[in-house]
Amino acid sequence: MEEQQPASSPRPEEANGSGILIPLVIATFIIVGALLGATAYLSQQISVVQAQLVEVGAGGPGGGPENANQPPRREPPAKVDSDKLIGAEDPANGPADAAITIVEYSDYECPFCGRFYQQTLPELKKIYGEQIRWVFKDFPLPFHGNAQKAHEAAHCAGDQNKYWPYHDLVFENQKNMGLSDLKAHAAKLNLDAAQFEACLSSDKYAERVQAGIDSGREFGVSGTPTFFVNGRRIVGALPASEFKRVIDAELKN
């Protein structure tokens, strides 16, 4: 016969269960608390990293966000003398006496520069046409391994009067920027292959590309794309509406 325990005394198995349960409950609270604390900490760190990426994208070493979606500037940027930005050998497209000159510091391998080329540039050309003169400045970023040669290759194509068509091909094929791809672009444009390859292999335009980088640094460029609209700075692959705001203000002057 099972012996009845006094009402005030728990059975041995119940007492053992409580002895195990209480530490388990305490341990559970400790683990949950630690996880919540870790989650809050990680969330905080993620926010910090995201903020840093936005900063880099807007104007830091990557441009781009590498770049490049800086919040729109509401105050007119400080103005730079456009003549100081443009060198005699810089590629330019559009009338020399255009009302608006846009100087673009760009990197062929920068995805934000590619986005500007694909989305914003066509819209601006459609709106303003011959009112704008475009000047392209080399600013390959050091962590884009193919950019330097791509910029040199565009100048080599320029030797055969195909700078802008080559410029367009590179931006339209950003995922294919190895040396073989650069040569394939030249072939597609029917360039003299021997002349092009000799130019590219000789580093003929390495110093000109470096001159673009030096010019950008002189005027505070640290990321791509960076633009100067009649000397007014715009940073990032912003929508056409932001460029239009600055361009329209310049046209009224």
Q: How far is CA 146 from CA 27, 38, 110, 140, 184, in A?
A: 55, 40, 10, 9, 15
Q: What is the pTM of this model?
A: 0.70
Which of 85-89, 178-182, 224-228, 243-247 has the weakest average pLDDT? 85-89
Phi/psi at 114 (5° precision):
-65, -40
Query: How do residues 15-27 score in pLDDT, each as one tens digit?
Result: 444 455 555 545 5
pLDDT, averaged across the chain: 79
Q: Are strands 132-138 and 92-93 parallel, antiparallel or unpaired?
A: antiparallel
Cβ neighbours around 61 below 10 Å, total:
14
Query: How do residues 144-192 score in pLDDT, each as one tens digit?
Result: 999 999 999 999 999 999 999 999 999 999 999 999 999 999 999 999 9
Phi/psi at 199 (5° precision):
-60, -45
Give residue 140's pLDDT band: very low, low, confident or very high (50, 70, 90): very high
Cβ atoms of 99 and 249 within 8 Å: the answer is no
User: Mapped to the 3 state alphabet, what secondary structure does the chain carry?
Assistant: CCCCCCCCCCCHHHHHHHHHHHHHHHHHHHHHHHHHHHHHHHHHHHHHHHHHHHHHHHHCCCCECECCCCCCCCCCCCECCHHHHCCCCCCEECCCCCCEEEEEEECCCCHHHHHHHHHHHHHHHHHHHHHEEEEEEECCCCCCCCHHHHHHHHHHHHCCCCHHHHHHHHHHCCCCCCHHHHHHHHHHCCCCHHHHHHHHHCCCCHHHHHHHHHHHHHCCCCCCCEEEECCEEEECCCCHHHHHHHHHHHHHC
